[in-house]
Structure 1
Amino acid sequence: MTNSRTAHRGRLRPALAAAVAALTALGLAALPAGSAHAQEKRLKAWGNNRSGQLGDGTWTDFRTTSTSVLGLTSAEVVKIAAGGAGPTNGHGLALLTDRTVQSWGANTFGQLGDGSVFSHNAPGQVVNLSNVTDIAGGGAHSLALLADQTVVAWGHNNYGQLGNGTNTDSSVPVRVEGLNKVIAIAAGLNHSIALREDGTVWAWGYNINGQLGDGTSASRNVAFQVSNLTGVTRIAAGCNHNIALVGPPSGPSKPTSGNAVKTWGYNATGQLGDNSTISRYTPVDTQGIWLGGVSQIAAGCNHSMAVTDSDNKLKAWGQNTSGQIGDGTTDYRITPVPVPGITGVQLVAGGREHTVALLGDNTVRSWGNNGSGQLGNGTTDNSTTPVTSLTALTGVDKLAAPVGGDFSLAN
């Protein structure tokens, strides 16, 4: 299928259509200064834009500083997610206050969910989708959790990552079969996982490296339970590995050492953190002492992160080719190591080879690969230690980066 680089304006809310047309023609990244909404805080994006994944109405190759996603104010965005399957490929998702979902970027396999396979450089609505409570972006597929605690998916389905019992791509949302009572979702490059309210984790899609955690390497187009894993409260997915937090999350008001980090799947660069580079087909314990417990987990393509302690410090492990671990080196880490100088971590997200974190001082810091400006600091120089991406914005409370892509989102 052809990946069109023509803006498909019919997807946009009518009030924005004229603005999109003008902005696309002029190559502008935000609404005109005279617009009534020009001064409102907006969803921000930076990094690679070859697929329109920054959503700013242009096809500019990349942005080294933040640009505004067209037409979406911060106030109407409830959650954000990012997908991508390569350095120049990616798509963005935004869950709005009306519980509908907007999407933009690459759409070769229908991952935007608008019934087409045409890429778009500005947001438009995912069709036949309402009452959404959470979203996730994979390599070239997307997931949504509905208010009835079921899951729908759309996009690429060559390995069954849509979970609907077929291996046929879908450009509109389809129901993940046999899955209910779900409270959280995550998407890898070509697989998907879901956390049920009973603390079990279910997975479907690509499984050659054991990323489904069922003890086999057989890909599955319906959800199967991850083996020997219960009591889970958080999940995250990398390209081909997964992380689960077992036990209640810690925090300043409720520190606990009674939780554990479990991982499974691909491990060639140490992303499982079990002091080996052996892929695991069922969950194993990540090594290390989690003083004060773990409050958050996150995954990049081949690296992993955990926010620890009552001070919200950060540990990372796995691939470090571009400095995405943030410890000042490019050495792979097969067990967790501290990220120096980073405290007060509120949120963290991982991209293909970069990491983004929101700190308590309302700054966004990034580190790792920066060939497309995905660190947002005005350069294309890689950094093995954190640099500042955003300082002008206040009230940032959402971050996203694609496990297989080179851009970042903040709201």
Structure 2
Amino acid sequence: MTSTQTAATRRHRLRPALRPALALGLAAFTALSLTAVPAGTAHAQEKRLKAWGNNRSGQLGDGTWTDFRTTSTTVLGLTSAEVEKIAAGGGGSTIGHGLALLKDRTVMSWGANSSGQLGDGSVFSHNAPGQVVNLSDARDVAAGGWHSLALLADQTVVAWGRNNYGQLGNGTNSDSSVPVRVEGLNKVVAIAAGLNHSIALREDGTVWAWGYNINGQLGDGTSASRNVPAPVGGLTGVTKIAAGCNHNLALVGPPSGGTKPTSGNAVKAWGYNATGQLGDNSTINRYTPVDTQGIWLGGVSQIAAGCNHSLAVTDSDNKLKGWGQNTSGQVGDGTTDYRITPVPVPGIKGVQLVAGGREHTIVLLGDNTVRSWGANGSGQLGNGTTTESSTPVTTLTALTGVDKIAAPVGGDFSLAN
């Protein structure tokens, strides 16, 4: 939905406690939502979820359709204290949506909704958070291009949104604007969403995938899309997963109770590889997992994927390596050269969290500050400019004590809490 659409077609949705008494006057509600809270009140002093970058779909959740923000704006109605986890999705530079898992195990959503990716039973976009329906026991969330996932307390998965390639995993190819059960999947401990596919890590260390597969992103040795989960071939002992637009990463740890090998934990990758995002020293698509090149001395603690680039944090010193597409400097090595094997990101250490967007990267450092680099045409680096940077810049989050960050796999905005 664009900023030229009328207020009457923009549907705003707040959780029940924040809905006005009358269901009429939605446009008026936006104006009321933006009224400043008087300084000095308890409400004004509460920390808030923040967002910056492109906002054409309302993906910043601040009650406006302002084109973009180059510094952080406040997501309406959500205090930092009540937010357990955050996720960001998006299928293009101006398309995006956000998810927030609250401590009461409900999920809030905002932004683009043309395929029902907000899970509110409609296909109307909205620029302020509202509740995902029929969902009260979530433990984790993930957001793809136009679809969303939630991991439930019983270790099953539900999904909602676009389903043209079967990315909802419910045995159909029909979109759903409400959560539907992913078929035949249990004992799940982690989830991730790509542009048009989904993956899940089970407690036995196997990875299961479903959805779009033309580039091998399901890792089953074929290019056939699937609308129910199937195991990724030859992959066991996995401890973490990450999904890019059309590729995936998995971190394979040492055996239970064992010690780390001298070469470190193994990073595996599969799927689309035209820009080297698999890190295997090639640009050949891989239909089953391959080893990312390099010796990871001390192991790897985290992995993350942007649209066509990949990232890993080393365990021993919390430093960062990146590889893949680097058109806008999203690898962070000071160049715009594509990297088909991992390279260090200079000057970055003490990394606590890392997230990749369409063509940008953000990290949370040990001092609870945020750094970003890469594309910045919509202000997604949050440093007050629209100038891209191939080296890290300071993100102006207006927050202290940040402990969560998110970026959309195919979009141009960022979240921090």
Aligned residues: 408
Secondary structure of the residue aligned to 2:224 is coil
* Alpha-carbon offset, residue 255 of structure 1: 9.7
* Alpha-carbon offset, residue 25 of structure 1: 2.4
Please point out which of 345, 349, 368 is paired with 2:374: 368
Provide TM-score, normalisation by structure 2.
0.93
d(CA) in 2 for partners of 1:10 and 1:318?
38
Please point out which of 396, 399, 403 is paired with 2:402: 396
Please point out which of 257, 266, 285 is paired with 2:272: 266
* Alpha-carbon offset, residue 245 of structure 1: 0.1
* Larger displacement relative to structure 2 (2-11 or 388-397): 2-11
Cα pair distance change 1:16/1:361, threshold 3 Å: farther
Provide TM-score, normalisation by structure 1.
0.95
2:357 corresponding residue in structure 1 = 351
Residue identity opposite 1:372 in structure 2: S
2:102 corresponding residue in structure 1 = 96
Of all paired residues, the percent bearing the same amino acid is 85
Please point out which of 106, 113, 116 is paired with 1:107: 113
After the TM superposition, which residues 157-176 of structure 1 pair with which residues of structure 2 at under 5 Å, given as runs? 157-176=163-182
Please point out which of 221, 225, 250 is paired with 1:219: 225
Alpha carbons 2:71, 2:397 under 8 Å: kept: no
Residue 14 (structure 2) pairs with residue 8 (structure 1): no
Please point out which of 318, 326, 331 is paired with 1:325: 331
1:81 corresponding residue in structure 2 = 87
Alpha carbons 1:365, 1:386 under 8 Å: kept: yes
Residue identity opposite 1:295 in structure 2: S
Residue identity opposite 1:191 in structure 2: H
* Alpha-carbon offset, residue 15 of structure 1: 2.8
Unaligned runs of 5+ in 2: none
Secondary structure of the residue aligned to 2:347 is coil
Q: What do the CA deviations read for 1:258-314 (whole angstroms, capped 9, x no partner)?
A: 410000000000000000000000000000111211000000000000000421000
1:302 corresponding residue in structure 2 = 308
Cα pair distance change 1:360/1:109, threshold 3 Å: same
Alpha carbons 1:273, 1:317 under 8 Å: kept: yes
After the TM superposition, which residues 5-84 of structure 1 pair with which residues of structure 2 at under 5 Å, given as runs? 6-15=9-18, 17=20, 24-25=30-31, 28=34, 31=37, 33=39, 36-84=42-90
Residue 292 (structure 2) pairs with residue 289 (structure 1): no
d(CA) in 2 for partners of 1:370 and 1:27?
28
d(CA) in 1 for partners of 2:248 and 2:174?
24
Alpha carbons 1:255, 1:309 under 8 Å: kept: no
Alpha carbons 2:13, 2:126 under 8 Å: kept: no
CA RMSD of aligned residues (A): 2.3
* Alpha-carbon offset, residue 410 of structure 1: 0.3
Secondary structure of the residue aligned to 1:75 is helix
Residue identity opposite 2:83 in structure 1: V
Residue identity opposite 1:163 in structure 2: G
Secondary structure of the residue aligned to 1:320 is coil
d(CA) in 2 for partners of 1:322 and 1:143?
29
d(CA) in 2 for partners of 1:82 and 1:278?
28
Secondary structure of the residue aligned to 1:37 is helix
After the TM superposition, which residues 203-218 of structure 1 pair with which residues of structure 2 at under 5 Å, given as runs? 203-218=209-224
Q: What do the CA deviations read for 1:69-127 (whole angstroms, capped 9, x no partner)?
A: 00100000000000000000000000001000000000000000000000000000000
Secondary structure of the residue aligned to 1:24 is helix
Unaligned runs of 5+ in 1: none
d(CA) in 2 for partners of 1:275 and 1:4?
50
